Structure 1
């Protein structure tokens, strides 16, 4: 079973990236890096200089995470890999992650798995996890996901019109609509961090504040309404409502409210105006 890994880079923190690379490169025969116009690209090149089986592909400018992920998939396909582990530049895998994924796939009789994920430990707080076995889920984040290369490309890959934010949600919906499964195994395989997040208690439940920039707020809101127009299903509608609620949390609890609010509102309207990309089927 051929498995490689890929990381999308944009102005990475070099020490964290080094930790990321060191943990994953010992587990796979090839690591693909796609750089989206990092200002510290020379530092990245110095970091990987002399390390075997690392391929660096340069975009020259920021073409978005979806384009970079598709480039990783196409390179993996060209090199005859069946599966590719996608990682964020600041995520760190455990040393046993690929072994756990491989063991699951080799002992699983099902042939319609499009993506595998694991339990994720966030540096700020724990994400939802399963204690044992495995389960089918609706959605998983890109980082730590083991993507079936042929299947993902056959349904159209990542939607490059989305640029950044919720591209993982889109590809998961697309895979499931084509009859493929998203499966989470009960293994804590990734140390991850979502922005500079913190939790607040509003009485009836806890909510996360991510303190994203106004640039990110634009794409979060833009792609929430874009996906609602693209898929017209209950899952996406709930995600859209959650983004509206998150908008009000930003107004109440975060800094730079005026700028973030303006970008968010523009994002919501731009998403509804955008023409959704067609999925292959």
Structure 2
């Protein structure tokens, strides 16, 4: 059985309808988690328009974060005895035959204990698919598009609810690897993914060289907080270095962000030292 899950927070309901139309023919059921959206009535209308028992909606009274909601999806998938779970962002749209492509890929790795496989997203102008390469144990794969081996990981691997949002997917991937399970990036395009608002800031001869995705101040806060949290939990400084490098680029090429981003980043870095680490999804907890 193949399950799919999407976490919703004030979604574009027209896009949600389009996403479900593309997804439902490929999976046995879809679990939607509404994280206290303000447009619940519109979400209900979209779901009711399909009139299918294969769509499960779980409504949270408050937004407890994407990690908490993803754990709800994983738990529901285990409850209905799903073999594999496809997780998607609310702004992602699967391509035809995605699940068949995943099954074909997995059939060529049937002797391996694979915890998760993802594929390349279609963003902007894609490269020739023949140039895409297979990658093994890349822990930087996103939640959207992830195809998770439910029986293998459930009860051991989980999403860290303390993180709320940002780096949640990387933590989950590291958790899978801590149990010795493999992660693969399959060499094909599988879904369209919308990125947030970007602002071109540097160009040469009319060609855009650097673009920055615009984030809210709250997202910058969680990126800062969770980068240190990840360093403390996994004893890996990559996430902090990556965050600081990105902030430096913002401040150099997008100075209007300095005040709002700087304050949020400082608050996140300060608060990161106050959070106790959740080691429950690690195979070998670090004291």
The answer to whether TM tops 0.5 is yes
Q: Deviations over 1:135-174 (max 9, x none)?
A: 2123200001101123333333000000001100101111
Q: Distance in 2 between matches of 1:169 and 1:30?
A: 26
Runs of 4 or more off by more than 3 Å in structure 1?
198-203, 205-208, 254-257
The answer for the alignment partner of 2:217 in structure 1 is: 214
Which structure's CA Rg is the greater one? 2
For the 8 Å contact 2:228–2:272, the answer to whether it is kept is yes
- CA 1:161/1:250 → structure 2, altered by over 3 Å: closer, same or farther? same
Query: Please, what is the CA RMSD of the aligned residues?
Result: 2.3
For the 8 Å contact 2:78–2:154, the answer to whether it is kept is no
For the 8 Å contact 2:228–2:239, the answer to whether it is kept is no
For the 8 Å contact 2:83–2:149, the answer to whether it is kept is yes
Question: In the alignment, is residue 6 of structure 1 matched against residue 5 of structure 2?
Answer: yes
Matches within 5 A, 1:217-228: 217-228=220-231
Q: Does the residue aligned with 2:142 lie in a helix, a strand or coil?
A: coil
The answer for the alignment partner of 1:244 in structure 2 is: 244
For the 8 Å contact 1:139–1:182, the answer to whether it is kept is no
Q: Distance in 2 between matches of 1:208 and 1:254?
A: 14
Q: How far off its partner does 1:201 sit?
A: 5.2
Question: In the alignment, is residue 268 of structure 1 matched against residue 269 of structure 2?
Answer: yes
Q: TM-score, normalised by structure 1?
A: 0.90
Question: In the alignment, is residue 39 of structure 1 matched against residue 38 of structure 2?
Answer: yes
- CA 1:130/1:170 → structure 2, altered by over 3 Å: closer, same or farther? farther
The answer for the alignment partner of 2:90 in structure 1 is: 89
Q: TM-score, normalised by structure 2?
A: 0.88
- CA 1:198/1:174 → structure 2, altered by over 3 Å: closer, same or farther? farther
Structure 1 gaps, min length 5 = none
The answer for the alignment partner of 2:28 in structure 1 is: 29
Q: Deviations over 1:91-130 (max 9, x none)?
A: 111011111011122332233111010011124x669x87
Q: Distance in 2 between matches of 1:3 and 1:73?
A: 12
For the 8 Å contact 1:138–1:182, the answer to whether it is kept is yes
Between Structure 1 and Structure 2, how many residues are aligned? 275
For the 8 Å contact 1:112–1:180, the answer to whether it is kept is yes
Q: Distance in 2 between matches of 1:196 and 1:149?
A: 34
